[in-house]
Amino acid sequence: MNETEKSPIHYDVDVVRLPSKGIRVRIEADEAQRTALAKIHELISVDSFYAEMVVTQWKKKGAKVSGRFSARIVQECVVTLEPLETLLEDDFEGLFVPENSPLSRPASIVDGEMLLDAEGPDAPEEFAGTTVDVGAFAEENFVLAIDPYPRKEGAEVQQEVEELREESPFAKLAALKTKAQDK
Within-domain flag for 171: no
- Distance, in Å, from the CA atom of 57 to the CA atom of 130, rounded to the nearest integer, reads 12
Residue 23 forms part of a structural domain: yes
Res 72: pLDDT: 98
User: What is the per-residue pLDDT for 25?
Assistant: 97
Residue 136 lies in a domain: yes
Query: What does the alpha-carbon distance between residue 172 and residue 178 come to, in Å, rounded to a whole number?
Result: 10
pLDDT of 147 above 90: yes
Q: Report if residue 166 sits inside a domain.
A: no
pLDDT beyond 60 at 163: no
Q: What is the pLDDT of residues 35-77, one digit of tens each?
A: 999 999 999 999 999 999 999 999 888 999 999 999 999 999 9
pLDDT score at 48: 97
C-alpha distances out from residue 107 to 49, 61, 170, Å: 36, 18, 49
pTM (2 decimals)?
A: 0.76
Tell me the residue range of the domain where 64 lies.
12-156
Q: How far apart are CA 66 and CA 19, in angstroms?
A: 16
Is 175 part of any domain?
no
Asked if the structure places residue 33 within a domain, the reply is: yes
pLDDT bin (cut points 50, 70, 90) of residue 83 is very high
Q: Which residues contact 16 (CB under 8 A, 6 or more apart)?
A: 61, 130
Residue of 137 and 178 predicted with greater confidence: 137
Q: What is the mean pLDDT of the chain?
A: 85
Instruction: Please report the pLDDT score of residue 152 as a whole number.
Output: 85
Total domains in the chain come to 1
- Higher-confidence residue of 18 and 105: namely 18
Render pLDDT for 3-38 as a digit per residue (tens, 0 to 9). Answer: 568 899 999 999 988 998 999 999 999 999 999 999
| Assigned domain for 183 exists | no
Q: Which of 135, 59, 54 is nearest to 97 (CA)?
A: 59
